Structures are given as structure tokens and as C-alpha cells.
Structure 1
Amino acid sequence: MMAWDEPAAARLRRRQLLLWAGGLAALPVFDRALAAEDSASPGAAARAVPPVDWTDDPFFGAGFVDTDEWRDTQVRHRFVHGGFRDTDTRFSIWFPEPAAWRGRFAQFLQGGLGGSEFRGQQSGASLIAFENGAYFLESNQGHVGNDMKGLKGEGDVLSWRASAQSARFARRLATEMYGRPPAFGYVFGGSGGGMRSIDCIEAAPAIWQGAVPFMINRNGLTSFNWSVAAWASMVLAGKLEAIARAADAGGDGPYSVVETDEERLALDRLYAAGFPRGAEDQLGPNPLWILGMQLAFATDPAYIVAFWRQPGYAGHDREPAVERMLIETELTVKALRTGDEVGAAASAAEDLTGAVTRMSGPGTAGLVLDTERPAMDFLGASLEIVSGKAKGRRLLCTGGVGESITAFLDPVGFEGVEPGDRIAIANRALIAFLYLHRHAVDPRYPGMAAYFEAGQAIYPQRPIDFDAQVVPKGRFQGKMIHLQHTHDREAWPTSALPYIADVNAHFGQATRDNYRIWWIENAAHLPPSASQRTEYVSYQGAYAQGLRDVIAWVEEGRAPPVSTGYSLADGVQVQLADDAKDRGGIQPLVTIGVGGRTRAEARVGEAVRIEAEAVVPPGAGTLVRMAFDLDGSGAFATPVRDLEGAPIRHRAGLTHSFERPGTHMVTVMAWAQREGDARAELRLVPNLARLRVDVR
């Protein structure tokens, strides 16, 4: 561990607190906030403790309304939009007609860093609120888009205070409209919104009595996890597709593909850190690495210098992998691509960059360079324009969409760049991030154990204070149903384990009276795209059911289905119970096979008998749909038609012959619904299983 003076340590701790609360786009704002704090006199007054009840928070100016009208979209409702003066906090509220309101509200928290007061409505969360007789509330959580100035350096404005003040204002409007205030409040959200849902119920129990966080990511573990995945992805770059195929159902396993000691070590380190087995097809370049990179470097600006200049770091020591990964070149711009063109290419390719940024418009959003390298190879690289009208501009490459590189984090971006301009490209910062997981570890986290020998860190350590992390404590009033996904590359299953442990430590034997953890098998971070529908399941129905159940738990004392039964392999790999009764939770357990095996061989035209079974855990409803996908299209065009009586357990079989040689993946999906309503659209909870058939 490096030694540093106490004032520097205090500054670092404050920096970490702010960064983990705020994030990428907030860095300049937080730097200014820290500078102001460092220059303040020692006797400066401490910040007032924010209110945790229905009392107005003095951080926010007077509330205002700029839209108040009745609308008929989704269901008839009164739509109110507004905000708070002297802040960037904005909110939208959807009030159902008085006859449809049942005395409660449901507040959705957008994931990531927030920034929009409309994302929940766009994703259908408002329908979930209306189904439960609640008015729907959403805020931008204190800031507009990626501009964090509205937080004024106070990270808890983002984590819960903007949400609380929005709830207070909505309560006053609800009282005027319905003649009484809401008796109960609920908060739900995923990813960053999931973490902040926990912040809300822990900080302000008078406002929220129930919470449904899903796919949470433990603050402080994010950079470590993403660094391990990024490094392994780069080491295994030429074999990622083969690894994904080998890791799929009936495959020979990922280790059957790797050949070198370095490749085997990459898999070892990846799984030992907690990357979920079965999610290997999600490895590869990920634009979110940039967020991890920026957070890490802003927390510890000296790290990148140390990585390239000090012994014990792979950059200084010039490890062979570093030499292979390093890009330092100068290229010419061949062509420009507009936002509309980049957005269309992203949509066609189901590209995460395009999905996140929703690129559009006539301005230049992408550059085509004179190189044979894929554009995504430049993810995380610095771009310096060295000729033309934009000479001297420095940008960060946010990846590639099709043949174009992008730089969407900079508001100016590629404006003024023309074909023929030269660009200097270097990815030294990204490479430093790839190895960060070696140099910022804590023995308390099982996923970091591989980086210690005899209790001592193997590599030089950075001055990272893990106890400075802003993390929930597992101490809340009310009820919580927490959903975590088993195949999530952004919020690994291990990200939830510390919070689960904190809850158990706080409540002890009373945990079952206050908290549920439902693991959602075969769910990734984003809903499955068209090409992923045979591999991953949608999770909206699960958190919709979670909201319904937490309402009944709070208001009627009716306990929801038990937590999912699971164990930990090697302390980090979540393994769900094999039997539906032992598994619990709300998701059906689904299996498929030929003769009890998940791999079969057949000749072209030979009949293959495929058997599948789905079982719903106790209290989770009944099966309402079941279907096979035989061609990998995701259409599930072969439904099971004998599900009469809404069974809890069902076995289905079919005989099929394959007319083309090669490997065919067959998928069966089953949907459970609490009331056994086969026509339901909300609260459908799916799961799937896959079978490999090698046809010769």
C-alpha cells in the first residue's frame, strides 16, 4: 500500500464519496466542489442534515408546474410536469382518475445516473403503477442528462433527496386532487436506480414503506469487475465467439477452446472474480468500460502515471499482452457519418452504444478512418485532431458503430472535422484500466482473493479506501423485495452479495419478515434484443410482480413467496437450487433434453425426441404459456397446446428432424403468472432452457 499524507487521504476520501455518488459526467463539477472545500476555512459550518420525512428540503427552491393536463395515453390520467426553482430537478407525475386510485404512489428511479423524468413511462413502469391503483411519479434525480451541475457537489441529492422532494410535491398535489394524501409509498428501479431505491427506503422511511430494487451494482466493486472483464476480453479477443459456443448448453466448456497459459489465466481470473458462467457471449468491448475508467482515474489521477512509469505495473514492465494491446497511431479521416446514419447502423446491429445515446440528427456523429481495424478496437482511446479546422481538439473514443468511431461524451464532438484530417490515436489510458483490478483490491471481498498471497497483495496497491464507498447498510424499515439477475455482465451476481449479507446481519432471524432476494435466472442487464430471445429472458414481469407483492406485504401483511434458494461455488459463483421447491422465488424452473442430456447427435432428417419440463415454485402462480424455438429465430413458433387447467408442473415433448447439418440450439420457454391468467400481459415471469443438437 502506498503511503500518503493525512490531508491527501482526506481529500481522496471526499473525492471517492462524490464520485461514487455522481459518476462520469459529474467529474468537472466534483473537482470544483472539492477545490472549494479544500480552500474553505477549518471552521466552516457543517452542511445541514437533510430532512427524512415530509418536511421540505431547503436545498430545493419552490416547486413549479409547467404542464398540467388530462391525457388518454395508456389509461386516462392527469399529467403534471414541473420542477424546483434554483435546481435542475424535474419531475413528471401521472395521476389516475379518482375512481382508479387506491391511496398509494409508486416512484420509478431510472438506472445509470438518472437524468430523465420520462424513462419509466417509456419503459412501461407507469402501467405497472396504474395496475396497482397508484399514481406514478418519476424525477430526473437532480440533474438533466449527463450534466451534473444541478447536484452542486452534494451526491445524496442524486441518491435520494431529489426523489424525496419530488415525492413531497406530488403528495401535496395528490391531496388536493383526491381529498387525502397517499397512505403508502413505494420505490422501484434497476441498476443505478436499484441502488438508489435502496438509498431511498433506508434514508426516508416516512416517505417510502416498500422497495423493489433490481440488478443492483455494489458501489466500489464496479471498476474492479469491469476491469477484470475488460482485461479478459482483450486477452481472449480472438476466441470470444468460440468460448461463448463452448460455454452454451451441451458445449465442451470454455476451457476446451483456450490454448495458452495466458488464456487459461484470463478465464481463471474472470470466474474467480465472480463473472457469471453462462454469460460468456456478453464478453467483448463494452462502452461502459469508459465509465469505469473515468471513475477510477478521477478517484486516483496518479494511477495512470504509475502504471506506465513504476516497476510492478504491467505498463512499465512491458508485459507481452500490453505490447499486443497498445495502439499508438495516426490515421486519416476517410468519410463522415451523420447522427441519423450512426443511429440507423446501431439499431440494425443492436449496438449498445447506439441504444445508450440514441444518436440522431444531421450533425457529424461518426468518422470512418483509413484502417482495416474494426472501429470498436478504438474504444476508450484518446483522439487528438492534428490537422484541419478542428486541430488541437482532444476527444475520448466511445467505441464504434459499424465502420464509424464515435465520441458522444463531448458536446462538440466531431464538429468541424473534414475528410482528409489527421487524427492521433492512443489507448494508454484504457490499457491502464484493464489492469486496475490488480492494484485496487481488498481481502474482505472473495472475488479479489486471487490477488493475494499469504494475506499480502501481489501487486503494488493504490491508495483506495474501500470504506469511503457510499453504500447502503442493509438497515431499513418497511419491506423490500430485491431481484438480482444471474447472467448480468454489468451488475454481476457478486455485486448483490455484500448487501444481502448486510441485511442478514442487521435483521438476523427477522430477515424473512422484511426482505426477499429473488434471483432471476437467465436475465442479463438489458432486456433481450431480437437476436438474444433464445438465450435471455425479459425481467419486467418479475419486478412488476415484485411491486404487487411488496404492496400486499406492507398493507395487508401478506408475505410473498420465499427467497430463492442458492449456494455459492468458490464463494463467488451463484448456483440456484435444482428442485423447484428448494429454489423458491417466483420464476419457473425449466429443463430440456434428449434422453435426459442437454446434448444430442443426429443425422440429417433423423427424428429426434425432445422432452421439456417446467415447474412453478410454491406460491408463485401457475404455468400459462410454454413454447419451443427450433430454429434460433426467437419466434417460439411451436407452442405447447395442452396447458389446460393452469398447471404448476407440466411436461411437454415433440419429435423433430433437422434438414441441415451443423449445430442447432433448441430452446424451450415457460411463463408463470400469479393468477393463472393466460391472457395477461403484465406480471408474466419467464424462464428458459437450451439443448444442443449436432446434426451430421
Structure 2
Amino acid sequence: MIGGIPSALHIDNDVEGNLLRISTSLRRGAPAAILALALVATMATGSPASAAPPVDCVTAPGGAVLVTPDCNDPLYAAPVIDSESDETEPVAHHKVSGHFEGTQMQFNIYLPPADTFQGRFFQYTYPLTDANATARAIGFGAENGGYTVQAGSSTGNSLGYRHDAAAAKFAETVASAYYGVPPTGINGYLYGASGGSFQTIGAAESTTGVWQGFVPMVMGTPMSTPYTFFIRAMARLVLADKAQQISDAVLPGGSGDPYAGLDAAESAMLRELTAFGVPLRGWEDPDYLLGLSAPDGLLGFGSVVQAIDPSYADDFWSKPGYLGTEQSPLGDEVRAALAAGGDRWDIALRSYYRHQLPPADSGYYGFDQFRDAAGSPLYPQRSLVVGPLVLRGSSGNASYSGQIHGKMIVVDNLLDVDAMPWHADWYAKRVAASLGQSEFRNNFRLYYNDNADHLGGDGDEGHGANRLISYWGVPEQALRDLSAWVEKGTPAPASTKYTATNAQIEVPRLALARKGVQPVVDVTANLHSDVVHTRVGRTVAFAAVIQLPGTAGRVVTTEWDFPGTGDFVERRFVGSKLGAVGATSYTFTQPGTYYVGVRVTAQRGNPSSAFGRVQNIDRIRIVVE
């Protein structure tokens, strides 16, 4: 017995009648666990006793399990509902909680009222998440006509996509019973950031029909980890003393020349870092870029390398082709660090990325600086390339072939020093090569988010509040556009226009040329656009010109931060279909250097909605004497 209802139900072949009785019973309070099982039997072509059991999901040669709506994944073959409840926060919904028998994977299904359901669901994924969706995710799903699904381990170890697929498939049976619709009438959308992008890509390439669309965010590649962290740790060794100097050069009103004042070793390191794809503007936050608050900046991957490549450090310090023996300014730098008492392994690991090149024809152009004109490696290569091994667990053995099964909108951030912006361009090229240009245009978009980094997703954590935007508005709008693209055939707005030069992604200044979905804002002070010098007590006149790409809706807020502390105050603006203009003034009462910022928000649809609010920011340097 479950909830007073027998745990075995007789189901006949009156599909429509059973569906009506099931949905009516559920609205009277019958638990979804039994009704979902009933619906599964109802949708069978014959009686439950005669229906053929589903075949197991196929495993591809690379190890990815190919999941379809009809195959059985033996690892997650037994979903169990543990509890159901009616909740009021963050919105009214019916919550179904459960787990997969024999695993540590749990799931939650958040079902809003039937009169709001429009035949879709949204599902977030991340390798370290549990089964509890955020209030934002639940609220977004409900507002946009969908239920929310989240699956994860009770231990926070939720690698791959198979548990997500199993939860999505089972949730459809529950939702079918709850809303009185067949599972085939429900469309699903999977999204995930950072490590979740690995899972989302894995799902897009290794499942069919489970989800119809995908939004990977701040995405990595098979050659992202651990090399992004190692090269930044190397930069920390060489450039820490010049970090503030470089930062000042790239900040608004700075010289624009981050190489000024650097010696030969420092210049070589900055060129190497930049050609690897670390955004130059990322130096606005040098502490984070260099990992100065981390014990070693290697995120624990140093011990992984030591275990699988134990002779590396000895080779580094004794054999030609490594910085430990190289006669160069950088070689001198690392030997000086060792002489000063540095750890041999710690120093050697930092340049491990030089000895881990992917195949020359694989398109990873951030690594091309380590090849000669013929494409051969400039430095000795280790026998095992670590990056793809790290990826396999997170992605569920995804091939990253670009052969996606469904529509996809990638969201990437231009100030991201963790998942570098060119990685999204690399994957876009893979998808185009796999699908062909026509299908690529019909199934793929890439939106670059300016003035956003890897962490600034929620906008209320204090991280870079004076210079970064919350990037969540773009993926939320992308999910809306994705559902319209899938369900109505309405193409999503055009991808952001950009160029990739020396592994640096650059976008046009004008919104109509940039495209995408993000507004563009330019702030001036006393008619100057970079830096203004003034005196204490004088009033400075500020103006902001806001451009819209034509797909961003309308400007709904303009906010000003005069002290540059992240405390924004809303000011009036004059809006139009193509943008807006805001003007204000401020009197500085203390001397100092201020980075005055204006943050703008554009939105399509309901201007009072908390979701899909797409932001951008611009700043200007004010020197008060």
C-alpha cells in the first residue's frame, strides 16, 4: 500500500479512459507514484503482461551510453518515489521526491498547477550538485510553462548524464499522470554551467529524444582542465609582482598597454598566457586570475599528474626542452624560484601544459603557439594527455564530435578566465563540421555575454559586483527561445558576431553589428569616454547611451554606481525601440580614483518578471584631486 492505494493496479486497454481516470484520481489526491506506473502500462501497445521488455541502452565504442526514450539503462532501472508534498515556495507546486534503487542518485520533480503547464520541462545539471533545485530554477520553470527536474547524488558526486536522463524519463511518466497528457507530448530542455556544460554536451551527443534542446554555459573542452589552471599558476609564479600594474593598464581609463614595464620573462609569460586564451580584460581581477588565494592554483590536479606521470619532475629539471633546463628568461625564472626554496614538483607542474599538446588537426588553436611552422611540437610531449581523461568522467565519455541530437544555444562569458571564451568557438566549429552549414544554422546558436565571468551568475554574491553582471538572464532567455524554436519553429535570435584573434574573442562595439541578445552601453563623463580628472566638490555630468541588438526587448532599468563599490542606484532614462539614453550627475566629496559604473537591464516579455533580465555594464575612471 502507498498512500492508502494498493500498490498493484489492474490496467486494461482503454487508453483514453484510463488516462482520464488516472488524471482525475491524481487531482483528488492519489499519489503520483502509483499513477505514473499506471500510465506507463496504459501507454503500452498491448497488455502489461504481453508487452516486450525494453532493450538495454547501447554503449558506443568510446564508452558513452546511448540513451533513448525507449531503452533501459540498467544502472537506473528502478526509480522509487519516497515522498510527495504540496509546496507553496517559491511558487505553488507538487513536489515528488525519490531515488534510483541501488544507487546514491536522488531526484526531485517540481510540478506547478495544471493550468500553467504548457507541455515542457527544464532540468539543470552540475557534477557536484544534489537533487534539490534552486528556488530560481523552480520559479523559472513554473513561470515558463514547465515543471522542473533535478537529479543528483546525496554525496554530491553526480558525474555524467545518465542519471539526468533516467530522471527526465521517469519524470515524464509522473508528469503525464499529473497533467493528463502522453509523455510524447512533453518537450525537455537541459542546461548546465562549467562542469555542467560537460554533462550537457555529453547528453546532447549521446541521447536522442530525452531532451529536445540544450543550453551549455561557460563551457569547457576536453583540453580545458587542468591546463587552464596550470598556465595561470605559471603566470602567478612570474607575474604576481606586476599584477596590479597589468590590471591598471586594462582597467577603464588605463594605458591599454599591459606589457609596459615588464621585463623579458614577464613579457614572455603574458604573451603565452594571452595566446592560450586567458582574456586580457580578466586582469581587472588579478587576484582571481592568478589564484592568489588558492594554496597552489592547481585545484588538486597536481597530485593527479604526479600519480600518472611520476617521472615528469625529474625530466623537467634534467632534460632538454623543459623550462627547468631551457636557456631563456622564463627558464631563468623557474630556476631562480627553485633556488629560493621552491618545491621541485610545484614549479615543474605549472608548465605541464607545454607538454600536453592535442593532435595538430583538432582545432585547439590556443595550443598552436607551442608548435613550429610545420605543426610539430616545440617541446617534449608526455606519453599520456591528461585533459581528455579528466573530461571523460564529467561528460559521461562524450566524444565532443559536435554531432548533437537536438537544438543547442551555448552561452559563454567574455571575462571568463576559467572556461575561456574561445572554447565555445572551438565547439561551434565542431558542430558546424558535423552537421553541415544548413543544419548548423537550423540547430545551433552561440551567445557571448560581455562583462561576465565564470562566477558572477547570481549577481548577489558580492563577487565583482561593481564591474560584473549576473549572466543568468541570457541562459534563461535562451531557454525560452529554445522552447519556441523547438515547439513553434521560431528561430532563435542570431548568434553573437565575433572574431577570434590570437585566442582572444572580440565583439563589435555596435549592438546591431554584435547581434546576440545583450544590450550594449557606453558611459561618458563631461563628454569624455575613458577618464576624467576633476576636483573635490565639482559636479560631474554623466551620460549613458544604450543600444539594443533588435532581439533584446526593451530597456527596463538603468542603475548607477558612483563610488564604484557595487551599490547601484536606479535612475530615470528615456527609452526607445533601439535603446535608451540616461543622464545624471554626481559630486565627489573625497579625493581618490573611482570607477563609476552604469548597469542596464533589457527584457523581452513581462517587464516585472524576475527572469530573462539581460544585463550589461560600462565604467569610466574618475580621478578626483
Report the TM range for the smaller structure's normalisation: 0.7 to 0.9
Offset at 1:308?
A: 4.1
8 A Cα contact 1:531 1:634, kept in partner: no
- Which residue does 1:283 correspond to in 2? 289
- Which residue does 2:619 correspond to in 1? 690
Offset at 1:299?
A: 5.0
Q: What pairs up with 1:247-266 in 2 under 5 angstroms?
A: 247-253=250-256, 255=258, 258-266=261-269
Aligned-residue RMSD, C-alpha:
2.7
Q: Distance in 1 between matches of 2:196 and 2:339?
A: 36
SS of equivalent to 2:469: coil
Assess, with a 3 A threshold, how the Cα gap between structure 1 residues 680 and 267 changes in structure 2: closer, same or farther: same
8 A Cα contact 1:92 1:117, kept in partner: yes
8 A Cα contact 1:103 1:184, kept in partner: yes
Offset at 1:596?
A: 4.5
Assess, with a 3 A threshold, how the Cα gap between structure 1 residues 294 and 672 changes in structure 2: closer, same or farther: farther
Report the residue type matching 1:69 in the other structure. S
Assess, with a 3 A threshold, how the Cα gap between structure 1 residues 591 and 310 changes in structure 2: closer, same or farther: same
Report the residue type matching 2:350 in the other structure. L
Unaligned runs of 5+ in 1: 1-44, 149-157, 330-425
Offset at 1:130?
A: 1.3
8 A Cα contact 2:572 2:582, kept in partner: no
Q: What pairs up with 1:243-642 in 2 under 5 angstroms?
A: 243-253=246-256, 255=258, 258-280=261-283, 281=285, 282-285=288-291, 287=294, 289-298=298-307, 300-315=309-324, 319-326=331-338, 427-442=343-358, 443=360, 444-455=363-374, 456-465=376-385, 470-505=398-433, 506-527=435-456, 528=459, 529-530=461-462, 532-570=464-502, 572-594=503-525, 595-637=527-569, 639-642=570-573
Offset at 1:64?
A: 1.3
Assess, with a 3 A threshold, how the Cα gap between structure 1 residues 690 and 235 changes in structure 2: closer, same or farther: same
Assess, with a 3 A threshold, how the Cα gap between structure 1 residues 294 and 577 changes in structure 2: closer, same or farther: farther
Summarize deviations over 1:369-409 as a string: whole Å, max 9, x none.
Answer: xxxxxxxxxxxxxxxxxxxxxxxxxxxxxxxxxxxxxxxxx
8 A Cα contact 2:564 2:596, kept in partner: yes
Q: Distance in 2 between matches of 1:660 and 1:254?
A: 29
Assess, with a 3 A threshold, how the Cα gap between structure 1 residues 688 and 322 changes in structure 2: closer, same or farther: same
Report the residue type matching 2:439 in the other structure. A
Tell me the TM-score normalised to structure 2 length.
Answer: 0.80
Report the residue type matching 1:293 in the other structure. G
Assess, with a 3 A threshold, how the Cα gap between structure 1 residues 432 and 145 changes in structure 2: closer, same or farther: farther
8 A Cα contact 2:86 2:94, kept in partner: yes
Report the residue type matching 1:543 in the other structure. P
Assess, with a 3 A threshold, how the Cα gap between structure 1 residues 116 and 303 changes in structure 2: closer, same or farther: farther
Tell me the TM-score normalised to structure 1 length.
Answer: 0.72
- Which residue does 1:103 correspond to in 2? 119
8 A Cα contact 1:108 1:188, kept in partner: yes
SS of equivalent to 1:555: helix
Q: Distance in 1 between matches of 2:220 and 2:154?
A: 21
Q: Distance in 1 between matches of 2:213 and 2:91?
A: 24
Summarize deviations over 1:415-436 as a string: whole Å, max 9, x none.
Answer: xxxxxxxxxxx84433222111
Offset at 1:562?
A: 0.9
Q: 2:89 aligns with which of 61, 65, 73?
A: 73
- Which residue does 1:125 correspond to in 2? 137
Comparing 519-528 and 601-610, the one that deviates more: 601-610
Residue 54 (str. 1) matches residue 70 (str. 2): yes
8 A Cα contact 1:565 1:583, kept in partner: yes
- Which residue does 1:28 correspond to in 2? none
Offset at 1:216?
A: 0.5
Q: 2:130 aligns with which of 100, 109, 116?
A: 116
8 A Cα contact 2:172 2:186, kept in partner: no
8 A Cα contact 2:574 2:581, kept in partner: no
Offset at 1:467?
A: 7.9
Residue 666 (str. 1) matches residue 596 (str. 2): yes
Q: 1:680 aligns with which of 606, 609, 612?
A: 609
8 A Cα contact 1:61 1:86, kept in partner: no
Offset at 1:630?
A: 0.7
Kindly tell me the number of residue pairs found equivalent between the two proteins.
537
8 A Cα contact 2:125 2:191, kept in partner: yes
8 A Cα contact 2:187 2:212, kept in partner: yes
8 A Cα contact 1:54 1:206, kept in partner: no
8 A Cα contact 1:598 1:692, kept in partner: yes
- Which residue does 1:166 correspond to in 2? 167
Assess, with a 3 A threshold, how the Cα gap between structure 1 residues 536 and 296 changes in structure 2: closer, same or farther: farther
Offset at 1:47?
A: 8.1
8 A Cα contact 1:187 1:210, kept in partner: yes
Q: Distance in 2 between matches of 1:600 and 1:183?
A: 56
Residue 233 (str. 1) matches residue 165 (str. 2): no
Offset at 1:70?
A: 1.6
Assess, with a 3 A threshold, how the Cα gap between structure 1 residues 461 and 579 changes in structure 2: closer, same or farther: same
Assess, with a 3 A threshold, how the Cα gap between structure 1 residues 606 and 544 changes in structure 2: closer, same or farther: same
Residue 197 (str. 1) matches residue 200 (str. 2): yes
Comparing 58-67 and 625-634, the one that deviates more: 58-67
Q: Distance in 2 between matches of 1:464 and 1:502?
A: 24
Q: Distance in 2 between matches of 1:256 and 1:198?
A: 37
Report the residue type matching 1:125 in the other structure. A
Summarize deviations over 1:503-548 as a string: whole Å, max 9, x none.
Answer: 2222313322211101011111112542511211101111111111
Offset at 1:162?
A: 1.4
Assess, with a 3 A threshold, how the Cα gap between structure 1 residues 496 and 596 changes in structure 2: closer, same or farther: same
Report the residue type matching 2:424 in the other structure. A
- Which residue does 2:25 correspond to in 1? none
Assess, with a 3 A threshold, how the Cα gap between structure 1 residues 297 and 98 changes in structure 2: closer, same or farther: farther
Report the residue type matching 1:225 in the other structure. T
- Which residue does 2:36 correspond to in 1? none
8 A Cα contact 2:121 2:189, kept in partner: yes
Offset at 1:77?
A: 1.5
SS of equivalent to 2:74: coil
Offset at 1:577?
A: 1.4
Offset at 1:327?
A: 9.7
Summarize deviations over 1:330-386 as a string: whole Å, max 9, x none.
Answer: xxxxxxxxxxxxxxxxxxxxxxxxxxxxxxxxxxxxxxxxxxxxxxxxxxxxxxxxx
SS of equivalent to 2:290: coil
Q: Distance in 1 between matches of 2:453 and 2:167?
A: 30
SS of equivalent to 1:283: helix
SS of equivalent to 1:159: coil
Summarize deviations over 1:546-601 as a string: whole Å, max 9, x none.
Answer: 1111011100111121111111223x111111211111111101111233431222
SS of equivalent to 1:682: coil
Unaligned runs of 5+ in 2: 1-60, 392-397
SS of equivalent to 2:226: helix
Offset at 1:272?
A: 0.9
SS of equivalent to 2:436: helix
SS of equivalent to 1:666: strand
